[in-house]
Amino acid sequence: MAAAYGNAIPAWGDSGSVLLNLVATTRRVQHGGGENGDSISAESSYVAPRPSRYGMSYFEFLMVLIGLVGAIAVSEILVFWGHAIRNWGSVRGPGLLGAACSLMLFNVIGHVTGIWAYRDVEFGYYQTFVVVLPVVVLALGITILVPGSDREKITDFEAHYFSVAPAAFGCIALFGLLALLADQLPGVQEVPPWWYMLATAGLFVTLALVRNRAVHIVVWIALFGMTALSAAVMG
């Protein structure tokens, strides 16, 4: 991976230069000689390609990938809000679902921009999986929460909210635990404290298991308060 290349390998320029360099190296190996005519083996001649100074590092590639997954989740929320606003007069009980979508929008943006905290991590397969998986699970939870292609038929938002709450908030609670696991990687900086992540995951577990409307209202107030406090402390 890109992080393993170090600074010892010079930049090769654009992709055309990489291809020409690789072809030239292959021809020298096939003819049994190096640049000065000395004997050279295929194993010793291989140099791993790396991007030019205008290219993309492996961490930047992960940021783009995570940003794309986050963008899918944001688009789901915005499509729902568009539907809700267009049909505001004919829908019932939009409060809980609206609160959930609002906080999820904030969480997606906060998580994607917070990936900068992983800039000094030495990435391997495990580190890549641990960093990418949380946003995938978060996007899945949001996709479950937000009405899908049949949204035009859904007029009782509160009934829909409670019907999908176990699966949606279960995924979002799992997202919090996976994000906490990612925060333990060596080199991670400027992340929320572990107790905050555990507390929010516990609150989402409560939303997944309890079907009482009053309890959900109290939990959402607590989640909005904790999110605002975290943003004020870390911002």
CA distances from 101 to 5, 20, 34, 71, 119 (A): 42, 51, 61, 14, 29
Looking at the fold, whether 95 and 178 belong to one and the same domain comes out as yes
In a domain, 53, yes or no: no
Rounded Cα gap, residues 132 and 68, in angstroms: 11
Looking at the fold, whether 103 and 173 belong to one and the same domain comes out as yes
Among the ranges given (26-35, 57-66, 199-208), the one the predictor scored with the smallest mean pLDDT: 26-35
Residues 189, 120 contacting (CB under 8 angstroms) = yes
Q: Give the number of domains in the chain.
A: 2
pLDDT band at 25 (very low <50, low <70, confident <90, very high): very low
Burial class (CB within 10 angstroms; exposed 0-12, middle 13-18, buried 19+) of 192: buried
In a domain, 79, yes or no: yes
Residues 29, 41 contacting (CB under 8 angstroms) = yes
pTM of the model: 0.74
In a domain, 50, yes or no: no
Residues 66, 58 contacting (CB under 8 angstroms) = no
pLDDT of residue 9: 35
Rounded Cα gap, residues 92 and 42, in angstroms: 70
What integer best gives the mean pLDDT of the chain?
80
Domain that holds residue 138: 58-234
Looking at the fold, whether 177 and 81 belong to one and the same domain comes out as yes
Q: Report the b/e string of 69-81 with b at 16+ CB within 10 A.
A: bbeebbebbeebe
pLDDT of residue 152: 62
Per residue in 181-198, pLDDT (tens digit) is: 999 999 998 888 899 999
In a domain, 160, yes or no: yes
In a domain, 52, yes or no: no
Both tokens assigned to 173: 């609670």
pLDDT of residue 223: 95
